[in-house]
Amino acid sequence: MRKQSREAWDALTPKIRTALEAATPEHSDRLWAAGILNSIPARYHVRLVKGYAENLRAQGRRLANLAILEIGEQFQNPVSLTATADEISDAARQAANAAWRVITQYRNEGSACRALFELAERYRIEPPHRDDFAKIVNRMTSQHWWRRKLRRQFQKAEAAFIRMGFVHKHAAAYLSDEAYSRFESQQRSNAHLLSSMEAVNVETGESITLDELAEHSLSNPKNRRAEVMVRVKGIEHHADRIGYRGLFLTITCPSRMHARLSGSGVANPKFGGSTPKHAQGYLQSNVWEPARAKLGRQGIDYFGLRVVEPHHDGTPHWHMLVFVKPEHEAELLAILRYYAMRADPDEPGASEHRFKVEIIDKAKGGAVAYVAKYIAKNLDGEGVGVDYESGDAGSTSAPRAVAWARQWGFRQFQPFGTPSITIWRELRRLRELTPAQEALFGAVWKAADEGRFADYLHLQTDKAARLAPLWQEEESARYRGEKSRRVIGLSIPVANGNPVEFITRGARWEIRLRDTEVEGENARLSSPWTRVINCTGLDLRGSPGNTLSSGECFTGHHEATVRANRRRQEKEKPPFGIHPAGRLKNTDLTGERIAP
């Protein structure tokens, strides 16, 4: 062991050895760190040793050693921190195939299940916690499931990068460069996939390329920003009509959850090693949820929108647009302030930064003026100019903010106290109504169709008369033998009667490879991908030594399995903007559940 440590030390460059000697007087720590560095590409060594030295000074030996150890462990994973989207997909496919091989080696479910969980442990991921063996098999033989799990693993590496000082305004704002490179790679991969596929209407033969659909959907940041701004403006107008007052709040985490100081970017000596996910959990579970419960007990009505965005070191904070009755304003603020300041209330700067309140001034442009910048800087950077949090141009920092939210699984914009946005989007899919349909829900449809969100909120205020999503349960397109559900229309309340079901997604679409010169005959011969799976159910009676493939072992029908494996969930038609697949004609409705 000592010989290996000495060899690892000798393998480092003189510059890195000198930096380690300057960082720590502990000879054993130097040799131990050298062993970790030798498992990591040399291009990271300078940054790692610099971060290690800073953490030793600011946080002590234990936390500094833990941070560099975690980074070293991440480089031992099956998927490299610098992996592209294609490499992650390849690793997911190999893992799914390995799971199939494991299953075919065992005669009983118990042995196969234990072997599958051992496979998950080798990949350092949590296995699916399900009692149903068929569901475990469905997931661990799914490339999609493995890809999602492998991507989530990067959160551990990102947390270590934060602790090592790789994430702050003077290094890489919001998230590490490695994480942002993976995000860009995934965006390129998605764009390539969308350009090679098309959606085809089974009844009419109409075809639309998926990249065109994406351009007109909410996956386009410009469309998403436009919809959020329409909602903010409508919420404010609705609040004005009913006499509510607008407040703009900012809630941040205690100092111990910030890895770096805001100005200099140097290590925060109070940092306790928490991750952005821990910080978001603190804001949600320790501040917002108990405050909301208290407000409910006090009978205080309020509504608005929450925006979550990163500090330069990746720690989240919230901006909240809140509307409340003037007579309840003081009590609402007192309750929110209490829970926001409950942890570490006496630390320096807490009273100035942890809970900020601004009364919305109409002379300054109203609620839209207060939140427009925060919405844009977390989507596309339109009109932001310089992002003072990161020091970069808004157009540069906005994609990093989006990548940060996806890295940690945060929902950037969250309305509260308002009706479901799903109904608004479903209504906007409709181009026109018949007279009978107009009589049922014409007013709320017209408000949505014309973009009058304030009128939509007013018409949806009465819960007894509020439209609701209509769900349909169907066979899962991802996990055979299981059920999933999707929105297919609207449930419309009727006085003194049962709700009327109105279908907004009556057309059947298939996702296919585009018939281009590059694909030629292969595209025309490819099986379509639909929401419907026609293969047989799982038959978990395979035995070791079978000459059948993994798919045949569990279905008994090889051809059905091949067809099923090529199917994917149909991309939903975009709910925003005027587009052939986004604004349905009346002929697309089934007409079977509503009066003509």
| pLDDT tens by residue, 111-130 | 999 999 999 988 888 888 77
CA 239, 244, 249, 253 dihedral sign is negative
**Joined tokens for residue 101:** 């091989």
Please tell me the predicted confidence (pLDDT) of residue 3.
64
Q: Is the pLDDT of residue 583 over 50?
A: no
Query: Mean of the pLDDT values across residues 216-237?
Result: 90
pLDDT digits (tens, 9 = 90+) for 434-445: 898 898 899 999
Q: In what order do the strands lie in the sheet with 483-492?
A: 468-475, 483-492, 500-503
Q: Decide: pTM greater than 0.85.
A: no
Q: Is the pLDDT of residue 149 over 70?
A: yes
Task: Note if 106 is an active site residue.
Answer: no
Q: Is the pLDDT of residue 325 over 60?
A: yes
Q: Is the pLDDT of residue 314 over 90?
A: yes
The Cα–Cα gap between 544 and 558 comes to 18
Please tell me the predicted confidence (pLDDT) of residue 259.
93
Q: Which of 425-434, 447-456, 508-517 holds the top average pLDDT? A: 447-456
Q: Is the pLDDT of residue 319 over 90?
A: yes
Gyration radius of the chain over CA positions:
27
Amino acid of residue 302: Y
Please tell me the predicted confidence (pLDDT) of residue 540.
34
What is the residue-wise DSSP string for 513-563? E---TTTTHHHHHSPPB-S---SPPP-----TT--S-HHHHHHS-HHHHHH
Please tell me the predicted confidence (pLDDT) of residue 327.
96
The Cα–Cα gap between 416 and 296 comes to 13
pLDDT digits (tens, 9 = 90+) for 363-390: 888 888 888 888 888 888 887 888 878 8
What is the residue-wise DSSP string for 449-481? HTT-HHHHHHHT--GGG--EEEEEEEE-SSSTT
Q: Is the pLDDT of residue 590 over 50?
A: no
CB 437 within 8 A of CB 594: yes
CA-based max dimension of the chain = 87
CB 577 within 8 A of CB 488: no
Please tell me the predicted confidence (pLDDT) of residue 156.
85
Query: Mean of the pLDDT values across residues 284-307?
Result: 96
Please tell me the predicted confidence (pLDDT) of residue 372.
86
The percentage of residues in the chain with a pLDDT greater than 70, rounded to a whole number, is 85
CA 528, 531, 537, 540 dihedral sign is positive
Q: How confident is the model at residue 230 (pLDDT cuts 50, 70, 90)?
A: very high
CB 502 within 8 A of CB 492: yes
CB 48 within 8 A of CB 68: yes
CA 215 to chain centre: 19
CB neighbours (10 Å) of residue 53? 18
Return contacts of 259-263, CB within 8 angstroms, 24+ apart: 259/162, 259/163, 259/165, 259/167, 259/168, 259/313, 259/314, 259/315, 260/165, 260/167, 260/168, 260/312, 260/313, 262/311, 262/312
Query: Mean of the pLDDT values across residues 41-63?
Result: 86
- C-alpha closest to that of 526 among 204, 198, 191, 201: 198
Task: Provide CB contacts within 8 A for 242, sequence distance 6+.
Answer: none
Give strand ranges (E) for 158-262. Answer: 197-201, 207-209, 245-251
Query: Mean of the pLDDT values across residues 410-439?
Result: 91
Per the listing, tokens 């009058």 go with: 452
Query: Mean of the pLDDT values across residues 554-565?
Result: 35
Average pLDDT over all residues of the chain: 82
Please tell me the predicted confidence (pLDDT) of residue 124.
85
Please tell me the predicted confidence (pLDDT) of residue 7.
85
Query: Mean of the pLDDT values across residues 443-468?
Result: 92
| Catalytic residue chosen out of the listed positions 244, 374, 456, 479 | 374
**Joined tokens for residue 288:** 């917002």
Per the listing, tokens 């970017």 go with: 265
Q: How confident is the model at residue 550 (pLDDT cuts 50, 70, 90)?
A: very low
Query: Mean of the pLDDT values across residues 238-246?
Result: 95
| Catalytic residue chosen out of the listed positions 339, 370, 456, 479 | 370
The Cα–Cα gap between 302 and 317 comes to 21
Q: How confident is the model at residue 266 (pLDDT cuts 50, 70, 90)?
A: confident
Please tell me the predicted confidence (pLDDT) of residue 516.
54
CB neighbours (10 Å) of residue 497? 7
**Joined tokens for residue 27:** 């000879």
Greater confidence (302 vs 551) lies with 302
Q: How confident is the model at residue 596 (pLDDT cuts 50, 70, 90)?
A: very low
Task: Note if 338 is an active site residue.
Answer: no
- C-alpha closest to that of 244 among 252, 236, 234, 256: 236
Q: In 274-428, which residue ranges form alpha helices assigned H by DSSP? A: 276-281, 289-297, 329-340, 350-353, 366-377, 394-408, 421-427
Reading phi first (left if > 0) and then psi (alpha if -120 to 50, else beta), residue 366 is in left
